[in-house]
Structure 1
Amino acid sequence: MIRVMLADDEAMIRAGVRAILGVDPAIEVVAEAADGREAIALALAHRPDVALLDIRMPRLDGLAAAAEILRVLPGAGVAMLTTFGDDEYVARALDSGARGFLLKSGNPRDLLAGIHAISEGGAYLSPDITARVIGKLRSAGLGRAGEARAKVQQLTQRERDVLALIGAGLSNSQIARRLHLVEGTVKGHVSALLARLDLGNRVQAAILAHEAGLTAE
């Protein structure tokens, strides 16, 4: 069972999201918060697999709440759920360590897919904003294709295989099945390549994979 904490200051939005999540028998909403400070307290109390946070909330916004949740619960899966697809919000969400960015106006299937991917250690961006994220990270320094390929060359072949599958949006468990490895070995490869490439999260790794032209077999 995937345990989800939902934080949004609008009760109707929470009800709608809860209804969407409720159609998936593998997902359970274990707590709901109406502001960022309450979200932090409930995350500590319930330790959900995924914390789904609205960006604009009273007392403390979702980006600040995400950063604090990840500070005290480093392994938590955090996703931002918002009506705003602005580049600044996306960049700040990624900088905070969030592994998902989902639009309230998106397809409900994207929400369910995102929850599953993040709970399994993966990352998920709404398809509507993926292109903008790529452009933002490119301008922020992940650079041109040649630079990306040079970065990737320092990886082992196995790490490049893992990076390509991260770029394809696969979770650790899916990568393990694809490469016939145990999940713990995949986690080790992911940690190693993030450190070697000086990347902060899997989303940046996925962007780099695309920049370098890595494709999953």
Structure 2
Amino acid sequence: MIRVFLVDDHAIMRDGLRAVLSAEPLLQVVGEAANGQELLGQLPAVPVDVVLLDMNMPVLDGLSTTRELLVSYPRLRILMLSMLTNEHTIAEVLAAGAHGYVLKNADKSEIVTAIQAVAAGKRFLCSDIGLGLLEKLVGLQGAAPTTGSNALTSFSHREREILQLVASGLTNQQIADKLFTSRRTVEAHRQSLLEKTGAKNTPALVKYAMEQGLLKS
């Protein structure tokens, strides 16, 4: 039995994960927390094998929590859960001590596989991220300049939606309301778009998107 602790500041996300994991006979959800500080407060009294840890949280985020866990609970396995797909963030998380990285929009089966893999002492990288890094490597080696269509394929469907809404002038909260998600998730996607495009701010991001033909008329 793999004992899993869920850490995410959105109760709906925790409820969804609990429902998925509870259906697996070899997994047991033994605790929940809304941030890293709550997790650290509960760990002394709760036996845990794998922590499924959100990246963006208030009080103590996933990256800081990972570093704390590495010192205080070196045998604990850490699986980071995030919407961010840029390689800098992923590298930083793994360097901090996380044993795996999986996207929040990954298939349920992949999340279960990720937990089982890190619990078994292995490393795990979400398939979408692995394919994206491979495509980027192939692109660097091959070498045609990035066109609008090629740039578009590097964005997830949700990133393309958010890019369009950002260009329409909506705020993060307005975008979150329109897409039925949280403002924090929108902010994470927006940051990912900035990092993927190299844009320094929102006007530069919109300008890039227009130049590359990424916006719908």
TM (normalized to structure 2)?
0.59
**Separation of aligned partners in 2, 1:134 and 1:44:** 40
Whether the 8 Å contact between 1:3 and 1:27 is mirrored in structure 2 is yes
Give CA deviations for 1:130-168 in whole Å, capped at 9, x if unaligned. Answer: 1455689x8xxxxxxxxxxxxxxxxxxxxxxxxxxxxxx
**Separation of aligned partners in 1, 2:60 and 2:79:** 16
Supply the AA of the counterpart residue of 2:46: H
Supply the AA of the counterpart residue of 1:2: I
Runs (4+) of structure 1 exceeding 4 A deviation are 132-136
Supply the AA of the counterpart residue of 2:108: P
- Does 2:119 correspond to 1:119? yes
- Identify the residue that residue 144 of structure 2 maps to in structure 1: none
Whether the 8 Å contact between 1:37 and 1:59 is mirrored in structure 2 is yes
Supply the AA of the counterpart residue of 1:115: I
Q: Secondary structure of 2:44's match? A: helix
**Separation of aligned partners in 1, 2:35 and 2:82:** 14
- Identify the residue that residue 180 of structure 1 maps to in structure 2: none
- Identify the residue that residue 51 of structure 1 maps to in structure 2: 51
Q: Secondary structure of 1:91's match? A: helix
- Identify the residue that residue 8 of structure 1 maps to in structure 2: 8
Whether the 8 Å contact between 1:54 and 1:80 is mirrored in structure 2 is yes
**Separation of aligned partners in 2, 1:115 and 1:87:** 21
Report how far residue 45 of structure 1 moved. Answer: 2.8
Report how far residue 43 of structure 1 moved. Answer: 2.9
Whether the 8 Å contact between 1:90 and 1:133 is mirrored in structure 2 is no
Change (3 A) 1:89 1:47: farther
- Identify the residue that residue 81 of structure 1 maps to in structure 2: 81
- Does 2:24 correspond to 1:28? no
RMSD: 2.0
Report how far residue 59 of structure 1 moved. Answer: 0.3
**Separation of aligned partners in 2, 1:134 and 1:41:** 39
Larger radius of gyration: 2
Q: Which runs of 5+ in 1 are unaligned?
A: 139-217
- Identify the residue that residue 154 of structure 1 maps to in structure 2: none
Report how far residue 15 of structure 1 moved. Answer: 0.4
Change (3 A) 1:132 1:39: farther
TM (normalized to structure 1)?
0.59
Q: Secondary structure of 1:66's match? A: helix
**Separation of aligned partners in 2, 1:96 and 1:133:** 20
Give CA deviations for 1:5-42 in whole Å, capped at 9, x if unaligned. Answer: 00000000000011111110110110100011112222
Supply the AA of the counterpart residue of 1:113: T
- Does 2:96 correspond to 1:103? no
Report how far residue 89 of structure 1 moved. Answer: 1.9
Supply the AA of the counterpart residue of 1:123: R
